[in-house]
Structures are given as structure tokens and as C-alpha cells.
């Protein structure tokens, strides 16, 4: 497999074949993200992708899940993306699902009919970085989208019958907008009703705009207990019929997994207990946190 640079994938794609169909991220301007700063965005040729697929078939012919990397494979125009998806579907007879990152812009470039075509070919889940439900925060971190547009994109994915998994980022509003960010993000998750939602915690990556802002003192990262307070407020403001919520990513101080609304109260009480005790031994040690 001819991977270029560091490869990132969602935690739930740990057992998937990672197929790099784009290099880098089509947006690549978020102040907190350093994942693709060393890559210039491009779409790999079908011949390159075929080589990787043929190699994978030699060693893992019974692949059940494939994840299309890098940062936003859904941005690939439909006429180029379809042959890639068809290639993957035809190569692995046991294939159950293809996963892909998307952003608001790339999703809205696809019609519902185009998304349904991708669904019929095996694209079963789209991972969307929401980050925050506070437009002020999104503007400050150069997310490059509007909440109304993101809500429209989320609806389009769900209307196409594709699972929607979103990520949000604890601490992204800094100390200044901590509570607002948490409240509004919980409300926005209620609005878009994803199938899955994952909360990560801010980690300042050297070389990013956010790292510079921290050094200059214009952004103050919330401490671990303020991040837990954000998690509590966020969950408290989520009102959905059915959603799996997790904050068990390696960046988080306290792993939480819950089906909402069934386990909402139990989860809130567990966070309350940790906040009341303020016992550092109950939190993930700093040296074990990672992206």
C-alpha cells in the first residue's frame, strides 16, 4: 500500500482496510488541526488506487470494511468517485460497508440522488466534523461553514439512508466561551440528530494557529475539570430519540459511552461524581492523551 504521509481514520474504522483515495484535506484551514499541513490536496489517480486494491486483495481478500482516506474523500466529483467505489465493491465479496470523511461543502456538492447511488454501492457511513454548535467558535477556528449549511448537509446524508457520525471538540471555545460552546453544541446535536456523536478534547498541536494563539495568550485552554463541565452541559442539552454518544477518544480525560436518551441520567450522574471528587486519579493521565 503506497500511503503518503500520516494516515488518520475514525476510531470505529480500526478494523477497516484504509484506502487512501485523496491526499490531504480539501479545506485544511482549521486553526486547531495540524493533521494535513504537510500535504497539498489532490485526488489520487484510479490507476494508483487500483494498485493498492490489488495488493490488498492478495493478503486480505475477505475485507468487510473499507475506509476511504484522507481528510475528505467525499469532495471527489461523482463521476470520479463512482469508479473508485465500484472498484472497492467489486474487489471484496465480503464487503459490508465503506466509510468516508465528509465536510459540509463536499456533502452539499452531492445531490440526494448521488448520495443514494453511493449508498447502493456500499457507502454506509459518513463522518462529519461539526466541532461546535456555536457559530462564533466556528468562525474563530476558521471552520469555513455556517451551522444552517451543516444542518442541511446532515439532513441530506440521513435522507440518503447513510449513517451519520459527527465529532465535536470539547474546549474549542476556550475558557471564554466554554459554557456557550457546550450548550449550543448540545442543542445543535439535538437539531441534526446524528446516529453517532463523538466528543474529543482539544489538544494544542505545535505549529498550528491555535498553538500560536495559546502562546500569545489570546486563547486559554480549559483545564480538565472545565472540559468535564462542558461534557456535562453538552449531554444535558442533547434531546434526541436515539443516538450513541461517546467521549472515549484518547484525547479525553474521562471515557464516556452512552445510548441517549436511555442512559442520559446515569451518564450525567457519573460525570457529577467525578466533578465532585476532583480526584486526578479518576482522569486519564496527561501523558496518555493523544490524537
Instruction: Note the pLDDT tens digit of each residue in 125-151.
Output: 999 999 999 999 999 999 999 999 999
Q: Cα Rg for the chain, rounded, in angstroms? A: 19
Rounding to the nearest 10 degrees, give the CA dihedral for residues 222, 259, 250, 43: -100
Percent of the chain predicted with pLDDT > 90? 91
Per-residue pLDDT at 38: 85
Whether the pLDDT of residue 59 is over 90: the answer is no
Q: What is the pLDDT of residues 28-45, one digit of tens each?
A: 999 999 999 888 999 999
Percent of the chain predicted with pLDDT > 70? 100
Per-residue pLDDT at 79: 97
Please give the DSSP secondary-structure letter assigned to residue 286: G
Per-residue pLDDT at 210: 98
62-72 average pLDDT score? 94
DSSP symbols for 167-178: EEEETTTTTTTH
pLDDT band at 62 (very low <50, low <70, confident <90, very high): confident
Per-residue pLDDT at 248: 87
Burial degree of 240 (CB within 10 A; 0-12, 13-18, 19+): middle
204-209 average pLDDT score? 96
Phi-psi region of 180 (alpha: psi -120 to 50; beta: other; left: phi over 0): alpha
The three-state secondary structure class of 257 is strand
210-219 average pLDDT score? 98
Q: What is the pLDDT of residues 217-251, one digit of tens each?
A: 999 999 999 999 999 999 999 999 999 999 989 99
| CA angle 269–275–277, rounded 5-degree value | 105
pLDDT band at 177 (very low <50, low <70, confident <90, very high): very high
Whether the pLDDT of residue 112 is over 90: the answer is yes
pLDDT band at 92 (very low <50, low <70, confident <90, very high): very high
Per-residue pLDDT at 81: 98
What's the number of CA atoms in the CB half-sphere (13 Å) around residue 266? 8
pTM: 0.95
CA distance 33 to 65: 26
Whether the pLDDT of residue 53 is over 80: the answer is yes
Whether the pLDDT of residue 61 is over 80: the answer is no
Domain architecture of the chain: domains with CATH: 11-284 (3.20.20.70)
Q: Which residue has the higher pLDDT, 213 or 291?
A: 213
In b/e form, how buried is each residue of 7-34, taking b as 16+ CB within 10 angstroms? ebbbebbeebbbbbbbbbbbbbebbbbb
Amino acid at each position: 500500500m503506497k500511503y503518503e504521509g500520516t494516515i488518520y481514520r475514525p476510531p470505529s474504522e480500526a478494523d477497516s482496510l484504509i484506502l487512501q483515495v485523496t491526499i490531504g484535506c480539501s479545506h485544511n484551514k482549521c486553526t486547531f488541526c495540524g493533521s494535513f499541513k504537510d500535504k497539498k490536496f489532490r485526488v489520487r489517480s484510479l490507476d494508483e488506487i487500483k494498485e493498492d486494491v490489488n495488493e490488498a486483495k492478495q493478503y486480505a481478500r475477505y475485507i468487510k470494511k473499507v475506509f476511504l482516506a484522507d481528510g475528505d474523500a467525499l469532495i471527489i466529483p461523482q463521476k470520479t468517485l463512482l469508479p473508485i467505489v465500484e472498484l472497492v465493491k467489486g474487489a471484496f465479496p465480503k464487503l459490508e460497508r465503506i466509510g468516508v470523511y465528509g465536510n459540509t461543502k463536499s456533502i452539499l456538492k452531492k445531490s440526494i440522488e448521488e448520495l443514494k447511488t453511493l449508498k447502493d454501492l456500499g457507502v454506509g457511513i459518513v463522518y462529519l466534523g461539526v466541532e461546535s454548535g456555536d457559530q462564533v467558535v466556528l468562525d474563530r477556528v476558521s471552520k469555513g461553514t455556517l451551522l444552517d449549511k451543516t444542518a442541511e448537509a446532515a439532513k441530506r446524508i440521513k435522507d440518503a439512508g447513510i449513517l451519520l457520525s459527527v465529532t465535536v471538540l470539547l474546549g474549542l471555545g476556550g475558557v471564554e466561551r466554554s459554557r456557550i460552546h457546550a450548550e449550543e453544541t448540545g442543542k445543535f446535536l439535538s437539531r441534526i440528530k446524528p446516529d453517532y456523536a463523538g466528543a474529543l478534547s482539544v489538544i494544542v498541536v505545535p505549529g498550528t494557529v491555535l498553538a500560536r494563539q495559546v502562546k500569545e495568550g489570546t486563547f486559554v485552554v480549559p483545564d480538565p475539570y472545565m472540559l468535564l463541565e462542558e461534557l456535562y452541559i453538552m449531554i444535558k442539552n442533547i434531546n434526541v430519540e436515539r443516538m450513541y454518544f461517546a467521549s472515549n477518544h484518547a484525547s479525553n480525560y474521562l471515557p464516556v459511552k452512552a445510548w441517549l436518551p436511555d442512559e442520559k441520567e446515569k451518564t450525567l450522574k457519573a460525570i457529577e461524581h467525578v466533578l465532585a471528587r476532583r480526584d486526578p486519579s479518576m482522569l486519564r493521565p496527561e501523558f496518555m492523551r493523544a490524537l
